[in-house]
Amino acid sequence: MGYSNVTFSAYTSASLFWFVLSAIFAYHRRQGDAPRALVIASAVNALWLIAYAVHQKTPLFSAFQLLIGETVRYCMWIAALSYILKHFTQREPPNTIRLILFGGCAVALLLVPLSLAFAREQAQPLTIWLGLFLSIIGLIGIEQVYQNTRKNRLVKLLGINLGALFVYDIYLYSHAMIFSGMDSELVQARAVVAIVTALVLTAGAAVLPFKGEQTAAISVSRPIVFYTTSLTVAGGFITVLALGGYYVKLYGGEWGTVVYTLLLFGALITITAAFASQTARQTLSVLISKHLFRHKYDYRTEWLKLIQQLSQPTSARDVHRQAITAVASIFKSPGGALWLRKGPVMAPYFQMNMEQFPPEPIASAFCRTLREDEWVFAPQSTDDTAHSQYNEFLPGWSQKAKDLWIIFPLLIERELIGFMALAKPKVDASLTWEDLDLLKTVGRQVANYLERHRQAEQLIESRQFDAFNKLSAFVMHDLKNLIAQQALVVKNAAKHKDNPAFFEDTIHTINNSVERMHQLLKKLQMHEPEEIRNLAVKDVVIEAVKKCHDSKPVPTLRLEDTGGNITADQDRIVMALIHLIRNAQEATAANGFIDVTLKQENNTACIQIEDNGTGMDQEFVQERLFKPFDTTKTGKGMGIGVYQAREYITSIGGTLEVTSEVDVGTTFSITLVATTY
């Protein structure tokens, strides 16, 4: 396909899209939403595109006729922008703007007939100059529309797309001016730009309303602006050097190509080095925030980033580093230091890329100002700035620190738990109200983060002490039973001192007590693991019953089955049964009974300890029986025997149930998972 056919197809397609867009604008006009000038300008643009397409296929128009068409097209768009501004703001544009818009159009429309009469051979240069002139005026009109109709997304979209058309025309005519002629490929690309803008506007006009304010305005994030600006700067830099190199190549003789290559290569190396530098990226980020955004910080992004950093799992020793890193990243600071309350002083806990600092007394005027006024100190501020208002309270070490930038409080409600210092940023160290407000807010969040971790550490310590105290209580409970055995031996010694059998039984009792005490000491030291092994349930029950024969009523044992085998620590399971039997003995009169029964059902060993003692009511069983350190035996027990028994039986997969009735008796029912070999 030849040049004329491609151009004809491109401009014809563009005209069709603009005719469709004109129809949509006409519909909005009938609804009273769009100005008439917009419909006319869009239709004129479509007519100009189809006329240009036909001319490329079969030349029908002279250069001056094409110039007239271009001029009318530009003037219609400029007039439409003025009427759009009036329609949506409900007031006339400023006189200066009206003079620029309509005065520019008048000058252009006057130059066309004058050149036709006096400079007929200058049609192409005049087309180029008028195209540049009217495109610039059109951009001025678009800027006014965009600034004064911020809340209407469709009008903003229209301004962006018309701006794209005018910017491309400026490029097209600038290229034609430099190279003294229109480039055929750029002329073809002009149709593509017209197609794209028509498609975008058609989609926008079909979806977005003309009337009313749309508060959900289109916004661009700071990272997108940063990367777009970076690429634009890099592209512009390369373009300028490429144009200079191209000029050298054309007119530089034998060394032209070499110089051209060196310029391009040098541009690439320079851009790569610049954007690999963190300082360069921070500088560009600061410039973008200052000049392209209303606020210095993207508060949503910074807040989410802070929360994400503080919520990352970390060890106790890295908590302070993480807090400083999270804050420093927001303010582009290379380092910081953290003080936390420790007794009567604020002690330095961590420094990152800063020197070692001394502690600060909590009663000092400096700490009082941090707490009462939530003041952000700027030690490097001069005497004539508001930031130095309380600098006379600054401690001496802050004045000597070289890179110290700010000191801000860490508050929880009105309580000062510490303060943090940040090193001076490499790029922008100025302080604004945004910095101060964000520092105070971030300081409170970090204070809660640090306090939460401190309380977690205290809770861990408290649990460790609680576990130790609980173990000690269990050991004391077992020691009480051993002492009771020894006391009984001493009591019976005077009565049976001449009985050899008594001495043999005494030695056996003492030996058993010594072995039990050794086991308790090993567990108390937490170095001896449980001795888990396979045990016969029958042997466990027999051993527990035997050890309770020294008290009345003496328990009786009924073995209906062997009970199978269980996996457990022998000492602990035997002691659990002993606790339950001892409780039954203490609650039953000496002439009463305690029956211990063992039977097996499938893979379950069932042990029942039944007595006819005083019994318990249902409320006591539910609320007090298994509650540790709750006892009814004043001065005799610690209230943890039954609790300890249930906890261990449950830990090996068993259950402990109680049925009791006052003045009738109590039955403890134990089930254990057993195997048969």
- Cα 79-80-85 angle, rounded to 5 deg: 100
For the cut 50, the answer to whether the pLDDT of residue 214 exceeds it is: no
User: Residue 38 in contact with residue 25, Cβ under 8 Å?
Assistant: yes
For the cut 50, the answer to whether the pLDDT of residue 217 exceeds it is: no
- Domain coordinates of the chain in residue numbers? 3-214, 219-285, 299-457, 531-673
Tokens of 262: 């060196």
- CA 168/CA 193 separation, integer angstroms: 8
pLDDT at 227: 53
Comparing CA positions, the residue from 422, 428, 439, 550 lying closest to residue 484 is 550
Top mean pLDDT of 50-59, 221-230, 329-338 is at 329-338
**26 class by beta-carbon count within 10 Å (0-12 exposed, 13-18 middle, 19+ buried):** middle
Percent of the chain with pLDDT over 90: 10
For the cut 90, the answer to whether the pLDDT of residue 337 exceeds it is: yes
pLDDT range class, residue 259, cuts 50, 70, 90: low
**pLDDT, greater one: 161 or 89:** 161
* Residue 93 DSSP code: P
pLDDT at 219: 47
- CA 206/CA 209 separation, integer angstroms: 8
- CA 43/CA 77 separation, integer angstroms: 10
pLDDT at 215: 39
Strand 655-661's sheet: what is its strand order? Answer: 556-559, 594-601, 604-611, 665-673, 655-661
User: Residue 325 in contact with residue 414, Cβ under 8 Å?
Assistant: no
CATH number of the domain at 531-673, out of 3.10.20.90, 3.90.950.20, 3.40.50.2300, 3.30.565.10? Answer: 3.30.565.10
> Tens digit of pLDDT for each residue in 134-164?
888 888 888 877 777 766 777 888 888 888 8
> Tens digit of pLDDT for each residue in 506-556?
777 777 777 777 766 665 555 455 678 888 889 999 988 988 887 889 899
User: Residue 675 in contact with residue 518, Cβ under 8 Å?
Assistant: no
The stretch 221-249 carries a mean pLDDT of 56
The stretch 417-445 carries a mean pLDDT of 85
pLDDT range class, residue 606, cuts 50, 70, 90: very high
**pLDDT, greater one: 671 or 267:** 671
Comparing CA positions, the residue from 126, 16, 106 lying closest to residue 63 is 126
The stretch 559-563 carries a mean pLDDT of 80
Sign, Cα dihedral of 516, 522, 525, 531: negative
Tokens of 58: 């079969």
CA dihedral of 238, 244, 246, 249, whole degrees rounded to 10: -130
pLDDT at 596: 92
- CA 312/CA 295 separation, integer angstroms: 28
Helix (H, G, I), strand (E, B) or coil at 54: helix
For the cut 50, the answer to whether the pLDDT of residue 2 exceeds it is: no
- CA 194/CA 118 separation, integer angstroms: 34
User: Residue 145 in contact with residue 159, Cβ under 8 Å?
Assistant: yes
Long-range contacts of 102-111 (CB under 8 A, 24+ apart): 102/78, 104/78, 104/133, 104/134, 104/137, 105/74, 105/75, 105/78, 105/79, 105/134, 105/137, 107/133, 108/71, 108/74, 108/75, 108/133, 108/134, 109/71, 109/75
Fold of 299-457: Beta-Lactamase (3.30.450)
Rounded to a whole number of angstroms, the CA Rg of the chain reads 46
The stretch 68-74 carries a mean pLDDT of 87
Comparing CA positions, the residue from 567, 573, 556 lying closest to residue 609 is 556
User: Residue 11 in contact with residue 191, Cβ under 8 Å?
Assistant: yes
For the cut 60, the answer to whether the pLDDT of residue 572 exceeds it is: yes
pLDDT at 64: 78
